[in-house]
A and B are shown apart, each in its own frame.
Chain A
Amino acid sequence: MSDDRMKLWRSMDELAQTPAFEEMLHREFPSAASEWTDEPSRRSFLKLMAGSIALAGIAGGGCTRTPDEKIVPYVIPPEQLVPGRPLYFATAQTRGGFARGILVESHEGRPTKIEGNPDHPASLGATDVHAQASILDLYDPDRSQTVMHGGEVADWNAFLAAMAPVLAEHRRRQGEGLRLLTRTITSPTLIAQIRRFLDVYPKVRWHQWEPINCDNAHAGANLAFGQVVRPVYRFDRAKVIVSLDDNFLFDHPGSIRYARDFISGRRVRRDRREMNRLYVFETTPTITGAMADHRRRVRPSEIERVAHDLAAAVASGNASSPAATDLLGHRGAGLVVAGESQPPVVHALALRMNVALGNVGSTVVFVDPPEAEAQVNHVESVRDLAADLKGGAVRTLIMIGGNPAYDAPADLEFGAALKKFSDTAGNRAIHLASHDDETSFLCEWHLPLAHDLESWGDARAFDGTASVIQPLIAPLYAGRSAIELMSMLLGEGATSSYDTIRNHWRDRDQAGAFDAWWEACLRDGVIPETTSKPKQVSLSSSQASTATEPTSVPASNGVEIVFRADPHVWDGQFATNAWLQELPQQLTKLSWDNAALMSPRTAARFELIDVGNAPGNDVESSIIEITIDGRSIEAPAWILPGHPDDAITLHLGRGRTRAGRVGSKVGFNACALRTSEHQWHVSAAQIRKTGRTMALACTQSHQMMDPHGRDPVHVAPIARYDSVAAPKRKNVSLSLYPQYPYEHNKWGMLIDTNTCIGCNACVIACQAENNIPVVGKDQVSRGREMHWLRVDAYFGGDDANDPAGPYFQPLPCMHCETAPCEVVCPVEATVHDEEGINNMVYNRCIGTRYCSNNCPYKVRHFNFFHYTKQIEGPLKLMMNPDVTVRYRGVMEKCTYCIQRINLARIDAKREDRAIGDGEVVTACAQACPTQAIFFGNLNDSAAAVTKLKSEPTNYGLLDELQTQPRTTYLPRFTNPHDADGAKEPNPARAEECHPERTREGSACPNPDASERLSMTRPAGETS
């Protein structure tokens, strides 16, 4: 509860903290804990088997959960369980409370890999980095393992015993002084439980705090329609999309789905050359901005004005800017979206525009928000709680998930309030969380939260579709789910969460035959007929709120600060995940750190060194001090091309202090500047250069394509399709030797860079599938990251302040036909097989590293140290049993997921047939939200990959080197407005209107408004 709490000890050993005592403590309490941290003993192996049998039984029809204690001999295997063959279970995983359907691969009872559920509307079979990485959370050795009471190990019985009189007292007082704090919750069962709890304790206040919440969207909907509704977009139907600082390809609860829908309008083939058009007005460069056909960098204070101008143009039918023209020209097929970071008025304006343009019902529908109490403003809710904590109105605080001591608005000083609260006698703070984190440290009781893969639950997706979350494994530690905790608090302790959820849905299912229905729900991962019905909405009569000019005045000369969720660690909840920490950021390619992102011009203004153009992986970056209202933090500066000038982006979620061995003290904590008044941006910040520097690890610091005359990504406006249709260099052999005849299978891959959004899901999917180790910041800064698949990002154009792109290029092994790596290996450790795959024979490799030197793509990665040594304890259970865990001193690289090919080959052989198209899907292709990666047999002329390889635009990277890569690419196209009718963009004409190059527009009847609306140079102009 407090740092200086009196230290109690039981023996001299404890006082001295000897290892022997630690060991005793560990053995004494959690029954399974220590066994899991050790190598799996036979006993725990059998337990695991028992769990897997129970789970296999679930899928087979039986739905009872075998008590953890019972050991079942593995003599007669259950019907579906074939050792060596994985089983897949449909379940769901949440981000920000919203469900995304997943399929979990389970090997002999161990979940090892997460895939998307094709039947789930928020997934469609794809995943994102967070879904992929959550398997690591399950086996995280730092995950909370026991109940902690005042810093001492306790157990659930002790907690229940301690809570009984407290709850009795609160019941007597109708719940007065009892508070509940949750994150955003969409679980119907949990919501019903909380409602029941509120019935029992009517005076309980239920607070909600989700750091990346939907307050503004909800308020905007309220402003426009007079009710809180959630827009569900249909990007597949939109021809013109305008994003007002909305990173809809990544940030939304439905982003995985949205990405697929959006890209479906951009799959350029020889016979299909239409593309939708995306306009993005944004502050922080995002992957959505990278996909834009017109991107305009806008300071946060200007976006509202941009929205007003656009709304005015749309309302008046005045086609003053390309965006307005396009929207007006595509009534019913346009879409305006606003980002959560924008104030309610921008959301309202976007909604109004969609209504005015007749888009409602076609490209956007409105549904009831799936989350509980959507009308609650999270900032106000947590502000009230903080005030009451300070004011003494609270006696007992129950926190289900969340980490408010870290991520609550800085001005609330939630941590201090909670500490003071906990220090007061008679007050109780209870925190259910996966890790013993910053908040747990300040609470009397810390309760371990079970992982989604080890507990029952349910959740709704962005469109309301509900899924049952089913466990794949018995809890590794003493964790319990939120539903189980609520059952305890409700006095339903005997009911398992499985029964609680079944009972909840049994009530709803009136049709009878519940068991069959339930089985179908579990099997499919989706509960039928739960998708929300579109709601009829009408604009509220009062237009006063949105019709006026913006209230926020752009800051005149200060530096504006923008807060954004970190694409990887999000609001900090994934900070304990080493995969996500190490994963290079989508645009900056920074690993293990966040930074103060700014444009080159802003960096020059503050005389910061040119950190964006450093020669290697380790970059010395100037540390700046950012001060807002007396609160200040220090952050390393980083140049991000495309960032608006005089603005700085800070990503939330890093700088945690109690996030285990992985997440603690990584990066800086931007939450310390984020106040309840200014959740997303602040206009007046003081920047001071400290004169100190720190090293950042960046995996790709040379991002401008132009300077060296290279074009790794072919880019062209769609109107100039033919310019890339006949690649300069044909991918044909000039060799005098005959080509090897591939008689059976001939594997090949194609990556459509036009549909790659650079979300990194493939990278983590590859890491999870192929047992790729994490190496840490020091090793990354030495250029030793191990990701077999990397996503290169290249900016186009020659203006680093306002570049085109970046264009993404995922880079797995090319599996060259004439692989340069093979001829130089002295021991034949890398060889071609008869199906065309460049194999890596780990056992034969002695580590000369010549193959890497001779690889023009540098896709080979070397175990400079024994990196996999860190895979110990529970992490060993996570390893894919079909993939070798590599020892120090061997080279490794992409294998085209050869273990999956082999599995398919075994099946095909047994059935005496050829491997069919689509039977082998590599991990990267499977995870890809936009289906940009195609893999298959090039000897099969009907295979999707073979057909695409015959596209005239198909090109091999560096194929002039005669490597004949097996992995080839389709070019990136842009669809700029000016290029309609094959007109070239004409900067000269634009400059007549606006001399400043970065502010050029096309036609300028109304210089002011059109300047704000018009875009800078259309993307893709470079080629």
Chain B
Amino acid sequence: MTDQVIQPGHTFATVTDKIASIVLTRPIGRGWLVLVVITGFLTIMLSTAVGYLLAVGVGIWGVDVPVAWGFAIVNFVWWIGIGHAGTFISAFLLLLRQDWRTSINRFAEAMTLFAVACAGLFPLLHLGRPWFFYWLFPYPNTMKLWPQWRSPLVWDVFAVSTYATVSLIFWYVGLIPDLATLRDRSRHRVGRVVYGILAMGWRNSARHWHRYQMAYLLLAGLAAPLVVSVHSIVGMDFASAQLPGWHSTIFPPYFVAGAIFSGFAMVMTLAIPLRAVYGLKDFITARHLDNCAKLMLVTGLIVAYGYSSEIFLAWLSGNEFEWYMTTNRMGGAYGPAFWALILCNVVIPQSLWFKRVRVNPKTLWIVSLVINVGMWLERYVIVITSLHRDFLPSSWGMYYPTIWDWATFIGTLGFFLLCVLLFIRVLPAISIFEMRELVHETSLAPAPAAAEGGK
């Protein structure tokens, strides 16, 4: 059963009906409405917090000297990490011809976009003078000033904005055939017009398909390296500083692994309730859960290796500052955060060795949540504990997040979920045409196992 990427018995029509109906015919459910209200409220909270921040200054947050980066950067890295799964699934797995990606890539990509949008907020808001954010771009100006290219923050701007742009285009291009399907099936004039415009005149001709496939493959080729570059550069934001706890060459690879780790965790966190509520278990099967869980296990082990190598190298270096940072990280004021992170990211994910945990949606969902929390804690530990006690004991300090830090963070969670909820209702959450393709391929294939294992 777990080999199935789509339950047998589906035809082109059933696939199309099933997925398109969520958008076109399904009535608005009470649960959905309640969630929209809640997340809408959180979004308003976010805008309030942002408005107050812009009016008064970044001092409303808990940042200080020495801990000049706080929640904003923690959240930025966390969201960017979550934003990795979509493109990884779409681009990497497409290039690797992993057909199981088909049913999860659409909403994983959407999730990526929303996560990147949330992530993008933070570096802007955390600026002392956010209205000058555009100085980070090399635009022509009368002072003939460019950004300072040695700063990883400049690389960051390029990496994140490129990633956001390519992800958006990739996602949109992937949507075009499905938008045409929705255009054709919509019974409302509004729907027909809107979807019609968005479908850009897609007529399902062979020539269209030919060019489409080529464009999609090229975009995938473009997006795949970005998956690696973005979080490498985010890692370099830290690694190129000379701060003990940041200054570490392992950061880029281990940040990428961590990003995919947390990205898959977020995909699972969203996919498991989605398939239950909207009856998509035929499309998002146990096979998907199993594969994602395996990827989480692998990336989780890479992350764990990252932690241990950091500690080992701190010891090996014999550098008093590095070693103090390490012991302080474990046993200092923020020690509980470190051990919680180890529990969430290293200990609990080991349960994924067991198939029973991997294919059981409930346990997998819990593990995914735990990993999400753990990855947030990881960034918290990296940012805060490294900064709060560095070289000179005289400048040591503490960091306490304020209510505005929390409001902004929880606000982005609300905003993210609101976007996901709206997305589910206005766009096909699963790629219809690719599922049809899958139906075609599985029906062509001999697939005896499928027939037997089905019932």
Question: Could you tell me if A856 and B391 are in contact, using CB atoms closer than 8 angstroms?
Answer: yes
Which residues in window 129-155 of B have CB below 8 A to A? 129-130, 132-133, 135-136, 145, 147-148, 150-154
What's the Cα separation between A865 and B145 when bound, in Å? 27
Kindly state whether residue A826 has any CB partner on chain B within 8 Å: yes
Q: Evaluate contact between B65 and A862: CB separation under 8 angstroms.
A: yes
A274 within 8 A of B: no
Do A825 and B148 have beta carbons less than 8 Å apart? yes
Chain B positions 376-429 with a Cβ under 8 Å from a chain A Cβ: 387-388, 390-400
A782 and B58 contact, CB distance less than 8 A: no
A9 part of interface (Cβ distance < 8 Å): no
Inter-chain contact A782/B129, CB cutoff 8 Å:
no
**CB of B157 within 8 Å of the partner chain:** yes
Among listed A484-492, A494-502, A846-854, interface-contacting one? A846-854
Set of chain B residues within 8 Å of A866, measured between Cβ atoms: 57
Across-interface contacts of B392 in A (CB, < 8 A): 710, 712, 792, 811, 856-858, 957-958
Chain A residue contacts of B59, Cβ below 8 A: 779, 784, 864-865, 888
| Also in contact, A846 and B240, with CB within 8 A (given A617-B64, A794-B393) | no
Assess the B65–A823 pair: CB atoms within 8 A: no
Q: In the complex, are the beta carbons of B145 and A828 less than 8 A apart?
A: yes
Contact A958 B391 (CB under 8 A): yes
Instruction: Tell me the nearest residue of chain A to B129, going by C-beta.
Output: A889
B127 at the A interface (CB under 8 A): yes
Contact, CB under 8 Å: A850 / B393: no
**Residue contact B68 to A865, C-beta cutoff 8 Å:** no
Question: Are A783's CB and B397's CB within 8 A?
Answer: yes
**Is B398 a contact of A616 with CB atoms below 8 Å?**
yes
Cβ of B8 under 8 Å from chain A: no
Residue on B nearest A699 in the bound complex, by CB? B394
| Pair B243/A854 contact, Cβ less than 8 Å | yes
Residue numbers in B under 8 Å from A845 (CB-CB): 128-129
Contact A847 B58 (CB under 8 A): yes
Please name the residue on chain A nearest to B383 by beta carbon: A853
Contacts A792-B394, A890-B129 given; does A824 touch B68 at CB 8 Å: no
Whether A783 touches B65, Cβ cut-off 8 Å, given contacts A702-B394, A827-B148, is: yes
Q: Is the CB of B65 within 8 A of A861?
A: yes
**Proximity string of chain A (692-721) to chain B, C-beta cutoff 8 Å, 1 when within and 0 when not:** 000000001111010011101000000000
A961 within 8 Å of B (CB atoms) = yes
Quick check: is A891 within 8 A (CB to CB) of the other chain? yes
Residues of B within 8 A of A853 (CB): 66, 68-69, 241, 243, 387
| A559–B159 CA distance with the chains assembled, in angstroms | 65
Q: Is the CB of B153 within 8 A of A702?
A: no
CB B51 to nearest CB in A, in angstroms, measures: 16
Chain A contacts for B306, CB-based, 8 A:
none
Q: Say whether A823 contacts B387, CB under 8 Å.
A: no
By a CB distance below 8 angstroms, the chain A residues around B58 are 847, 864, 889
User: Using a Cβ–Cβ cut-off of 8 Å, how many residues does chain B contribute to the interface with A?
Assistant: 51
B246-272 at interface with A (beta carbon < 8 Å): none
Determine the chain B residues whose CB is within 8 A of the CB of A146 once the complex forms. Answer: none
Is B394 touching A790 in the complex (CB atoms < 8 A)? yes
Q: Does A844 interact with chain B (Cβ within 8 Å)?
A: yes
In the assembled complex, the Cα of A782 lies from the Cα of B63 at a distance in Å of 8
For A889, list chain B residues within 8 Å (CB). Answer: 57-58, 127-129
Contacting pair A858 B148 (CB below 8 A): no
Contact pick for A847, options B129, B145, B152, B399, CB 8 Å: B129
> Does chain A have a CB within 8 A of B191?
no
Please give, as numbers and ranges, the residues of chain A lying within 8 Å of B307 by CB-CB distance: none
Residues of B within 8 A of A809 (CB): 394
Of the residues B63, B157, B388, B394, contact of A826 by C-beta under 8 Å = B157
Please encode chain A, from 959 to 979, with 1 for each CB lying within 8 Å of some chain B CB and 0 for all others. 001000000000000000000
A856: B residues at CB distance < 8 A? 242-243, 390-392
Instruction: Across the interface, name the chain A residue whose C-beta is closest to B149.
Output: A826
Distance (Å) between the CB of A963 and the closest chain B CB?
A: 8
Q: Say yes or no for A820: interface residue by CB 8 A criterion.
A: yes
Q: Which B residues are CB-close (under 8 A) to A710?
A: 320, 391-393
Q: How distant is B274 from chain A, measured CB to nearest CB, in Å?
A: 38
Instruction: Find the B residue at minimum CB distance from A790.
Output: B394
Which residue of B is nearest A619, CB measured? B398
A321 to chain B, nearest CB (A): 35
Given contact pairs A705-B393, A793-B394, A824-B150, enumerate 7 new A-B contacts (beta carbons under 8 Å). Answer: A701-B396, A708-B393, A820-B242, A823-B150, A854-B242, A858-B66, A858-B392
- What is the interface of chain B, defined by CB distance below 8 A to chain A? 56-59, 62-69, 126-130, 132-133, 135-136, 145, 147-148, 150-154, 157, 240-243, 320, 324, 332-333, 387-388, 390-400
User: Can you offer 14 A-B residue contacts whose CB atoms are under 8 A?
Assistant: A618-B398, A702-B393, A702-B396, A784-B59, A784-B65, A793-B394, A820-B242, A823-B148, A824-B150, A826-B157, A849-B128, A854-B242, A958-B391, A961-B242
